[in-house]
Amino acid sequence: MTQTVTAPTDRGQRTGSRPDSGNAPDSGNAVEARGIVKHFGATKALDGVDLTVKQGTVLGVLGPNGAGKTTLIRVLSTLIKPDAGSAVVGGFDVLRQPKQLRRTIGLTGQYASVDELLSGYENLYLIGRLLDLSGRDAKARATELLERFSLTEAAKREAKTYSGGMRRRLDLAASMIGRPRVLYLDEPTTGLDPRTRNEVWAEVQRMVGEGTTVLLTTQYMEEAEQLADDLTVIDRGRVIAAGSVAGLKAQVGGQTLQIRAVDAAELPEMAHCLGEAGIVGASVSTDAGLLAVPITGDEQLTAVIGVLGTRGFGVAGIDTQVPSLDEVFLAITGSSAVAAAAKESQA
């Protein structure tokens, strides 16, 4: 596999160092980026990106292929310099304090970057030593991480004999050696089988539990759903949506109430009464014995229950259905694509 980040300095930069190094940011934000712009020739990979990761939380960065996710991570890791904008990570400025910043972060790039000729153990031990761990500590940390990522049996084999999933796990272990305060994970589970994916998720959650802040890019909505507190969606180098997972879902689709009646024959009458009370859009599914009512918030939920109760309908159960993150993502990136096409046709 190829490496996206420049090779000679990568090993030192991808991993973090001592948790006690650096300043605690005053803002309560572990990462703060403002107006980041990055061109590659004629391509505007980042076009004024703002992003915030609160201390001790996970921010999921979502976006289609080519949106600028990896470029953003490279800027925030000091692997490339932005053309404009500013960013502070762990209290350190990407442009003015790159060395200190690198000692605060851990990075797992989009492509595995293990040394193929070394064994899994040697890879981890070496990185530990590069991070100034003593021989004994580096050994202990390597052994511990190999165990956590189910690589103990393969520890002595050259990494070139590892499967894709094993390399990925070794890569993640490598980024965690220095117990970084801020961890960047660029599509950490792409290509992993479900069991390994779960292991990685558990490990990320464990690190977050220990106080690590995580910035994660992903194409998997399930992963964002599992791990992220907040989301930033980027497309064509611009932020097109940002907020909490629940907030974005509410913004896109609201919720749907699914009401089961004691007597399914009453469903059409229930829909009619709701309509009369100004609650529109109710639809009856006689097969499922359900009345579906789109709502935008809790007040409407209360109103629906109130109307049905007052009119004397028997309600056997109510479920709320929120849109999946897949639906949210498609809705957001879809409308962004439509807007971009409109802009292009105007130009």
Ligand X SMILES: Nc1ncnc2c1ncn2[C@@H]1O[C@H](COP(=O)(O)OP(=O)(O)OP(=O)(O)O)[C@@H](O)[C@H]1O
Q: Which does 45 bind (CB under 5 to 8 A by kind): Mg ion, ligand X, none?
A: ligand X
- Least Å distance, CB 70 to Mg ion, is 3
- Least Å distance, CB 76 to Mg ion, is 13
Q: Which of 13, 97, 110, 232 binds ligand X (CB under 6 A)?
A: 110
Residue number with CB closer to Mg ion (70 or 123):
70
Q: Which does 63 bind (CB under 5 to 8 A by kind): Mg ion, ligand X, none?
A: ligand X
Q: What is the per-residue DSSP string for 292-331? A: EEEESSHHHHHHHHHHHHHTTPPEEEEEEEPPPHHHHHHH
Q: Is 284 helix (H, G, I), strand (E, B) or coil?
A: strand
Q: Which of 31, 45, 245, 284 binds ligand X (CB under 6 A)?
A: 45
- Least Å distance, CB 273 to ligand X, is 49
Q: Which long-range contacts (CB under 8 A, 24 or more apart) does 302-311 make?
A: 303/277, 303/279, 304/257, 304/259, 304/274, 304/279, 307/273, 307/274, 307/277, 307/279, 308/259, 308/270, 308/273, 308/274, 311/270, 311/273
Using only the alpha carbons of the chain, give its radius of gyration. 24
Touching ligand X, residues 217-236 (CB under 6 A):
none
- In angstroms, the CA 313 to CA 279 distance is 16
Residue number with CB closer to ligand X (133 or 233):
233
Residue number with CB closer to Mg ion (110 or 218):
110
Q: Which does 67 bind (CB under 5 to 8 A by kind): Mg ion, ligand X, none?
A: ligand X
- Least Å distance, CB 71 to Mg ion, is 8
φ, ψ for residue 278, nearest 5 deg: 85, 10
Cβ atoms within 10 Å of 72's Cβ, excluding its own: 29
- Least Å distance, CB 45 to ligand X, is 3
- Least Å distance, CB 46 to Mg ion, is 12
| Residues at the interface with Mg ion (CB under 5 A) | 69-70, 110
Q: Site mask, ligand X, residues 49-78, x = CB under 6 A?
A: --------------x-xxxxxxx-------
Quick check: 19 and 179 in contact, CB under 8 A? yes
Query: What's the token pair of residue 56?
Result: 């001790």
Residue number with CB closer to Mg ion (110 or 113):
110
What is the size of the binding site for ligand X (CB under 6 A)?
12
Quick check: 45 and 234 in contact, CB under 8 A? no
- Least Å distance, CB 50 to ligand X, is 16
Q: Site mask, ligand X, residues 21-40, x = CB under 6 A?
A: -------------------x
- Least Å distance, CB 279 to ligand X, is 41
- In angstroms, the CA 27 to CA 130 distance is 31
Residue number with CB closer to Mg ion (178 or 237):
237
Rule CB under 6 A: say whether 163 interacts with ligand X: no
For residues 111-139, one letter each, b for 16 or more C-beta atoms within 10 angstroms of the residue's C-beta and e for the rest, the string is bbbbbeebbbbbbbbbbbbebebeeeebb
Q: Which of 6, 43, 283, 302 binds ligand X (CB under 6 A)?
A: 43
Q: Residues 6 or more apart from 343 whose CB is under 8 A from it?
A: none
Quick check: 33 and 76 in contact, CB under 8 A? yes
Pick from 185, 237, 233, 219: nearest CA to 40: 237
- In angstroms, the CA 122 to CA 140 distance is 12
Residue number with CB closer to Mg ion (69 or 102):
69
Name the residues that contact ligand X, by CB under 6 A.
Answer: 40, 43, 45, 63, 65-71, 110
